[in-house]
Amino acid sequence: MLQVKQLAFDFSVVHAPTLDNFVAGRNGELVARLRSLASVKPDERLLYLWGPPGSGRTHLLRAAVSLLDPGSTRVAYIACSRETLLSDRLLDRDALAIDDVERLDEAGQVSFFNLYNAFRDGGKTLLASGTAAPMQLPLRADVITRLAWGFVYEVHCLSDVEKAHALAEHAAARGFALQADVIQYLLTHGRRDMPTLLAMLDALDRYSLAAKRAVTMPLLRELLSTITD
C-alpha cells in the first residue's frame, strides 16, 4: 500500500522545464531562437510569446531562464499579477522572463515600460508572454508598442495527433510500447497539457514495473483508482 501511495504522490511531480523536454510541434523556430539567445546580437534579445493557457508559454520562459543561467548570468522569472510591480532592482539582472503581462495593472505597466526600455538600451535579454498578440492585449498603448518591438512568436498548442506521437515517443524512450487505447484515454480524460500527460505516463511506467505487468488499459484504470481512492 505504501508503494502505491508513493506512486500516486509521484504522479503530481512535474519535471523541471527545459527546452529539451518541451515538445516543440509547430514551435520549432521559436525553440531554436530561445536556444540561441546567449549568442545573438543585442537587438535580437527581446522576445514576446503569446498563446492560450496550456500552450507552453510558461514552460518556455522558465526553460529559457534556466538555459541562460550558467552561474555567471543573473536571471529572473516573474509571474505577473494585478499587484506586480517590477522593482528597479531588476535593472541589475542580465536577463528577465516576465509571464502573463496582461495581468499588470496601471502601475505595473508603467514599471514594465521603464524596465523594457532599460533592457533594450542596455542590450540585455527580456522575454515576455501573454495570452494574445500585442495589439489584442488590454494594456497601455506604449506597452503594446514595446512588446511589438522585438520578435513576436505565437506559441502553437499541440494537436491531438502531435500529443499522441509525443506520448508514444516518450513511452518508447522508457522502453515500453503504448497502446492506442491508452493514448486515447489519456487524451480524453483529465488534464491535457503535456507536463501532466508525461507525468501520468511516467507514473504508469513505474506502476507497471512495480506490478510486473505490461502497460495496458486495465493497468491504467487500476492506477487511476489508487490515485482517486
Q: Encode pLDDT of 141-197 as tens digits.
A: 999 999 999 999 999 999 999 999 999 998 998 899 999 999 999 999 878 888 888
Residues 131 and 185 in one domain: no
155 exposed, middle or buried (CB, 10 Å; 0-12, 13-18, 19+)? buried
Residues 80 and 110 in one domain: yes
- 3-class DSSP assignment, residue 59: helix
The CATH code of the domain that includes 128 is 3.40.50.300
What is the DSSP secondary structure assignment for residue 172, as one 8-state letter? H
Of 103, 136, 154, the last residue of a domain is 154
23 exposed, middle or buried (CB, 10 Å; 0-12, 13-18, 19+)? buried
Domain that holds residue 169: 2-15+159-228
Q: Which of 44, 65, 117 is nearest to 86 (CA)?
A: 117
Q: Which of 112, 113, 130 is nearest to 49 (CA)?
A: 130
> E-strand spans in 56-137?
75-79, 95-99, 125-130
Residues 45 and 106 in one domain: yes
Residues 64 and 139 in one domain: yes
Rounded to 5°, the CA angle 59-25-96 comes to 30
Cell representation of residue 5: 501511495
Cell representation of residue 30: 521559436
Across the chain, which has 229 residues, the per-10-residue mean pLDDT values are: 45 71 92 93 93 92 88 86 90 94 96 96 96 96 96 94 91 90 91 84 89 92 78
Residues 41 and 131 in one domain: yes
d(CA 157, CA 124): 29
Of 131, 154, 177, the last residue of a domain is 154
Residues 63 and 99 in one domain: yes
Domain assignment present for residue 20? The answer is no
Q: Which of 48, 58, 9, 97 is nearest to 193 (CA)?
A: 58
Of 138, 154, 170, the last residue of a domain is 154
Residues 107 and 195 in one domain: no
Q: Look at the pTM and tell me if it is higher than 0.75.
A: yes
CA distances from 82 to 7, 79, 102, 130, 219 (A): 37, 10, 9, 14, 44
- CA neighbours within 13 Å on the CB side: how many for 5? 2
pLDDT at residue 4, as a whole number: 44
Domain assignment present for residue 203? The answer is yes
Domain count along the chain: 2
Residues 7 and 50 in one domain: no
Residues 93 and 117 in one domain: yes
